[in-house]
């Protein structure tokens, strides 16, 4: 990875989340809250439809950072606040997350702070989304 500068944009990430992804995530995470798979439970909770797990949304967002950094090993910190749910319709298209990220600060010790903007249907779904990445001198790749 060449020199990193404040304002440098990371490649945009577009990722679709489908109902099948929600089932897979629920099994992996052990989070079987019914609002993530049952239309009736989502409606009873006042939601417009089934919604994605918040941590799945954050994980997708962080993939933009790990793809850029060369792996998850370089990410030393990540955070985000859930601003609105990601509604996942019961169709083949699901919901598309769009992740845009920019280097916001160069920190001591070869680290950078990356700020992310995460949207679904043009609405921010995460706020205060950021990651701190330890860059390594071996071509920017982190050990996994």
The domain in which residue 77 lies consists of 52-134
Round to whole Å and give the CA distance between 50 and 117. Answer: 23
Query: What is the domain-level CATH number for residue 71?
Result: 3.10.129.10
Question: How many separate domains does the chain show?
Answer: 1
On whether residue 47 sits in a domain, the answer given is no
DSSP string, 117-133: EEEETTEEEEEEEEEEE
On whether residue 41 sits in a domain, the answer given is no
pLDDT-above-90 percentage for the chain: 87
**What is the per-residue pLDDT across 92-128, written as a single tens digit (0 to 9) for each?**
999 999 999 999 999 999 999 999 999 999 999 999 9
On whether residue 37 sits in a domain, the answer given is no
**What is the per-residue pLDDT across 48-61, written as a single tens digit (0 to 9) for each?**
999 999 999 999 99
| Whole-prediction pTM | 0.89
Reported as a pLDDT band with limits 50, 70 and 90, residue 87 is very high
On whether residue 109 sits in a domain, the answer given is yes
On the 0-12 / 13-18 / 19+ scale of CB atoms within 10 A, 120 is buried
pLDDT of residue 137: 53
């Amino acid at each position: 990875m060449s020199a990193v500068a404040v304002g440098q944009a990371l490649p945009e990430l577009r990722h679709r989340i489908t109902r099948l992804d929600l089932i897979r995530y629920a099994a992996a995470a052990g989070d079987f809250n019914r609002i993530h798979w049952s239309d009736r439970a989502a409606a009873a909770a006042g939601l417009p439809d089934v919604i994605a797990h918040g941590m799945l949304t954050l994980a997708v967002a962080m993939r933009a950072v790990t793809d850029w950094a060369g792996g998850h090993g370089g990410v030393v910190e990540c955070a985000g606040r859930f601003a609105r749910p990601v509604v996942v319709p019961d169709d083949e298209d699901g919901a598309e997350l769009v992740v845009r990220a920019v280097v916001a600060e160069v920190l001591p010790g070869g680290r950078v702070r990356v700020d992310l903007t995460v949207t679904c249907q043009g609405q921010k779904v995460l706020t205060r989304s950021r990651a701190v990445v330890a860059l390594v001198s071996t071509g920017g790749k982190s050990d996994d």
